[in-house]
Structure 1
Amino acid sequence: MEPGQRKPFSQNVTVFHGRWLPEAAMPVGYAALIDAYDLNVPMPTTLAAIGQRHRVYQADGWNLYTPRHKPDADLEGHLVFALRYEGLDLAVLKTLFCTVGPEPVTAIVKASPTGAYARRLWFLYEWLLNERLDLPDATQGSYAPVVDPARQWTIEPTTSSRHRVKNNLPGTPAFCPMVFRTPALDDFVARRLGDEARRLIADVPADLLARTAAFLLLKDSRSSFEIEGEDPPQDRIQRWGRVIGEAGRRPIDRVELERLQRIVIGDARFVHLGLRVEGGFVGEHDRLSGAPIPDHISARHEDLPTLIDGLTAFDRGAARHLDPVLAAAVLAFGFVYIHPFEDGNGRLHRYLIHHVLAERGFNPPGLVFPVSAVILDRIADYRRVLETYSRRLLPHIQWRPTDRGNVEVENETADFYRYFDATPHVEFLFECVARTVDVDLPAETAFLRTYDNFKARVQAIIDMPDRLLDLLFRFLRQNDGKLSKRAREREFAALTDEEVARIEAIYENT
């Protein structure tokens, strides 16, 4: 038995770690490694197995491969299979490397010093663990990409001459979520949504565009509070809206995040400002005992400084070389899983989306995509996206309740927040941004054009202040173009029946 291996690799099974397979099959790649080495790490969303049929197919969260794809039943065989067919799962790889130690990886490289997979494993071991293996620098072998760019999103590579590989990982060892290429993401990136938005507003008059931008900004700010179940006063909504409007002007680091938290909290008498100094979770408390019932457990407070440093490095490095929407999703959802503050995390998470989009020039100048408003409309989808990782993560966190109704994490968890599959999060954010381009932006500019036309035509027949014109338009809009009996008897009692009829006709024809 190899060092670190606890049991033989699985043979044909119909159920694997509680997950049914489409047929009796042999788990391979990451699934086999997690099982054999008893790795405490979230399972990949999709697992691989060798089936009985002579065709490759996908079903029920499994990729089934043919008997000719069967790897050798050892550490190297399953690692090479994973790299070739499953892409990189950095959390699994790092946990595995820590479990087996350096000797097996060193042996793999010595046995195949020019092999591309061996050199990639060698690089990943040293990159993830910051530990140099007892190997001389490679002198032969074509330079191979660390990440298969046809399978996962990458950045422009840097050369590692020691391993003769091209490092195209989209992050650093401190923070590097991965995103799989999917047909949906390829289509979204090809659309160039930022350019579409700029073309859409190219012919909108400046004053109308300014009003559109102001409305969308306020709408986003208000929606961000509503997502958190808050109904703050208007001045607080406007204050946070002004902050969103300035997104992208300052680089993200711990000081900037703490400044933003102070703004979003406002009254901090009962909230600890700055990084948490104890555990954190998202969920409920038992009504009788007050014990925590977590849906998500945040990163340990001891790990927060290095995790925030990882976010900062990503924002200033890899994020600038990825598609803006993809980078925004990785940064923002990484932040919300870490949950570094006692309060304000949700609004700062959505602020980070605006930060990346604005900094990269994705938004048309002066315009904010009302992402929070779209998220509010799709709140169930938003929560499902968050749970795609939280639910897989929770069973691997060992915690105990504290006497203050909080949680205390008892195992090492930092890597769970550094390395996760952000594919569903990126797809969701692209859908939200596309909705703003396809629906919200044209709808708001069309609304303002309609309102301006209505206002001008009514003022041509009746001298009425803007405040009442706004109210009149709103009443008509709420009542299918008719002025209600109540409105005619109260706010607009001075209007004659003929004037009401003319106003209703104007509304119908604008």
Structure 2
Amino acid sequence: MRAVGYEHIRQAHGLSAFPPERPAYVRPVTRLAQIEGGLAVPANRAPEQDSLLEHLLFALKHEGVELAILAEVLPRLDPTELIAALRKAPNGAYLRKLGFLFEAFTGSQLDYQPEVRGKAVPLFDPRAYVTGPVRRDSRWRVDFNGLGSLAWCATVRRSAQIENLLREDILAQAAEFIESLPTETLDRAVQWAYLSETQSSFAIEREAPSADKQQRFVQLLQQAHEPRELSEAYLVELQNATIDNPFDKAFGFREEQNYLHNGARGALGVSYLPPPPPLCHELMHELLEFANGSGPAVPPLVAAAVTSFGFVLIHPFMDGNGRISRFLVHQQLCQAGVLRKGLLLPVSVAMKRHEAEYLAALEAFSRPARERWRVEWIDAEHHEFSFTGSEVIYRYWNATPAVEFLLRMAKAALETDLREETRYLERFDKIYQAVNARYDIRGSDLAKLIMQCLSHHGQLSNNRRKQYRYQVPEAALDFIESEAQRLLHEECALELDKGSE
């Protein structure tokens, strides 16, 4: 098969940019069609093999916008060829986009004065991409509407999964659910969410936090509701608050190369290398601009995913990046004003249950990025790193897997975790009140028995009964079981009725 469009450009010019998500190839078809994860192109529609300009125009028209490939190859385009094409079709939308991007990525202006008539064109088609705030280039009448800037930009395609989950409006469902709860239940559910979110965020890092460290992280999560823009100083505060070792506390974004280790020996143990320090500083400035300025143009969960995953891929600190990245999910949602009354969606709880999916979303970027580095193992403490790729891979990245993942986790956090915890609290309260009305049992003992009973499908173990035989009447133990089983049975019947409707 002969590659065309972006994949042809990438191969023919030996680019460092990652392969396009849906590469285009000439196949025995009669019209353009999406087949087997790629674009099938009839031979009579394929661009000339040796014309970079034709492949670029084909790609922009039929494959969308791949900024990493465009940024790396446009400096190699003959400007006289582009100018000649513009003179023939000065209003051509794709030629105007190329002119705009050529000047942006080369830093030089074409010897050509655009004569554009008609309306401006968006760089990213809003029907195909989730887009950001619009910044118009008056020279080319092109609207830059990416998620970021031309120095750092995430791309999010409107996949069927993303479209369906955005339509569900998970955050509106969460707000409606919270409004429906009695105040006391809400308070306890929120307390549970903060504690569980903290424990799960540390568990993802394979760490069991001390009580003091756990409390500090809960306090950080509560800070997410405070109206405060992200900055280097604020992120340093967060990093310092999550780290115990004083030697690991940061004073600013890192000034040395760090890496992730998978436990293997030698160079094979290096699983990911984030951008080198100078580029790290520049990209963090761009990320903060996006995080503070995406506003209502970007759905909050999309902004949260781009900010959180973008942060952890840049890895601006030597330690603590993972926990801060998950904090940023809450910070973005709170700053967007979609989580009120101290509400927190326990997304890390869902992430912990779906760790393989979390890892896959991260590895969609980290695996190919690792291939752009040469790593030489010196000894147990030292490696030598050489970046052999182009910095475009860190500047322009496909955030679609990250957004899909976070949307799924937000839905799971609401439907599985928050709702289930609330149902548990309601069951607990009903059993507690019923037992307390009949029997005089010490409150701490009753609470432990109810929790044990509910966590074992409405039954108390023989060992538990023996443990409390001199403290709680056997009739009371039987009553706790019968009340728990009755509630569980009623809920099961209700779910069946809903399913049959």
Say if 1:281 and 1:295, in contact at 8 Å, map to a contact too. yes
Matched, 1:135 2:109: no
Structural mapping, 1:385-424, within 5 Å = 385-401=361-377, 404-411=381-388, 413-424=390-401
Correspondence for 1:254 among 201, 224, 232: 232
Name the residue aligned to 2:163.
186
How big is the shift at 1:108? 4.0
Say if 1:334 and 1:418, in contact at 8 Å, map to a contact too. no
Tell me the SS of whatever aligns to 2:2.
strand
Structure 1, unpaired ranges of 5+: 1-24
Say if 1:374 and 1:435, in contact at 8 Å, map to a contact too. yes
Structure 1 stretch displaced more, 485-494 or 185-194: 485-494
Deviations 1:335-367 (A, max 9, x none): 111111111111111111111111112224311
Structure 1 stretch displaced more, 62-71 or 30-39: 62-71
Matched, 1:341 2:317: yes
How big is the shift at 1:179? 0.7
The structure where helix makes up a greater share of residues is: 2
Say if 2:133 and 2:294, in contact at 8 Å, map to a contact too. no
Deviations 1:423-446 (A, max 9, x none): 111111111111123222221211
Name the residue aligned to 2:199.
222
Name the residue aligned to 1:268.
246
Say if 1:273 and 1:342, in contact at 8 Å, map to a contact too. no
Name the residue aligned to 2:498.
none
Identity of aligned residues (%): 30
Matched, 1:464 2:437: no
How big is the shift at 1:491? 4.4
Say if 1:292 and 1:406, in contact at 8 Å, map to a contact too. no
Tell me the SS of whatever aligns to 1:159.
strand
> Could you tell me how far apart the structure 1 residues matched to 2:21 and 2:116 are?
37
Name the residue aligned to 2:135.
158
Tell me the SS of whatever aligns to 2:136.
strand
**TM-score with structure 2 setting the length:** 0.90
Correspondence for 2:304 among 312, 315, 328: 328
> Could you tell me how far apart the structure 2 residues matched to 1:76 and 1:101 are?
9
> Could you tell me how far apart the structure 2 residues matched to 1:323 and 1:218 are?
27
- Structure 2 counterpart of 1:278, one-letter code: E
How big is the shift at 1:207? 1.2
Structure 2, unpaired ranges of 5+: 488-501
> Could you tell me how far apart the structure 1 residues matched to 2:468 and 2:295 are?
54
Matched, 1:359 2:331: no
Say if 2:4 and 2:55, in contact at 8 Å, map to a contact too. yes
Distance 1:71 1:443, change over 3 A: same
Deviations 1:258-297 (A, max 9, x none): 111001113333565532222122233544xx54622221
Correspondence for 2:26 among 29, 47, 50: 50
> Could you tell me how far apart the structure 2 residues matched to 1:315 and 1:426 are?
15
Tell me the SS of whatever aligns to 2:28.
coil
> Could you tell me how far apart the structure 2 residues matched to 1:192 and 1:298 are?
33
Distance 1:400 1:272, change over 3 A: farther
Say if 1:171 and 1:317, in contact at 8 Å, map to a contact too. no
> Could you tell me how far apart the structure 2 residues matched to 1:402 and 1:361 are?
50
Name the residue aligned to 2:454.
477
Tell me the SS of whatever aligns to 1:420.
strand
Structural mapping, 1:241-320, within 5 Å = 241-249=218-226, 250-270=228-248, 274-287=252-265, 290-291=266-267, 293-318=269-294, 320=296
Say if 1:41 and 1:396, in contact at 8 Å, map to a contact too. no
How big is the shift at 1:235? 2.8
Name the residue aligned to 1:4.
none
Distance 1:248 1:481, change over 3 A: closer
> Could you tell me how far apart the structure 2 residues matched to 1:66 and 1:274 are?
53
> Could you tell me how far apart the structure 1 residues matched to 2:122 and 2:399 are?
21
> Could you tell me how far apart the structure 2 residues matched to 1:323 and 1:223 are?
25
How big is the shift at 1:319? 5.3
Say if 2:267 and 2:376, in contact at 8 Å, map to a contact too. no
Correspondence for 1:369 among 335, 345, 360: 345
Deviations 1:14-42 (A, max 9, x none): xxxxxxxxxxx321110011111111221
- Structure 1 counterpart of 2:17, one-letter code: V
- Structure 2 counterpart of 1:77, one-letter code: E
Distance 1:501 1:26, change over 3 A: same
Tell me the SS of whatever aligns to 1:177.
strand
* Alignment length (residue pairs): 484
Distance 1:423 1:410, change over 3 A: closer
> Could you tell me how far apart the structure 2 residues matched to 1:319 and 1:298 are?
27
How big is the shift at 1:176? 0.7
Tell me the SS of whatever aligns to 2:382.
coil
Distance 1:48 1:505, change over 3 A: same
> Could you tell me how far apart the structure 1 residues matched to 2:244 and 2:232 are?
18
Say if 2:295 and 2:336, in contact at 8 Å, map to a contact too. no
> Could you tell me how far apart the structure 2 residues matched to 1:99 and 1:180 are?
27
How big is the shift at 1:79? 0.5
Say if 1:328 and 1:352, in contact at 8 Å, map to a contact too. yes
Deviations 1:155-204 (A, max 9, x none): 34333221122222232122211111122212222222111112223221
Name the residue aligned to 1:147.
124
Correspondence for 2:146 among 147, 166, 169: 169
Distance 1:129 1:438, change over 3 A: farther
How big is the shift at 1:91? 0.7
Distance 1:283 1:104, change over 3 A: farther
**TM-score with structure 1 setting the length:** 0.89
> Could you tell me how far apart the structure 2 residues matched to 1:472 and 1:406 are?
55
> Could you tell me how far apart the structure 2 residues matched to 1:465 and 1:98 are?
77
Tell me the SS of whatever aligns to 1:154.
coil
How big is the shift at 1:417? 1.8
> Could you tell me how far apart the structure 2 residues matched to 1:306 and 1:157 are?
22
How big is the shift at 1:248? 4.8
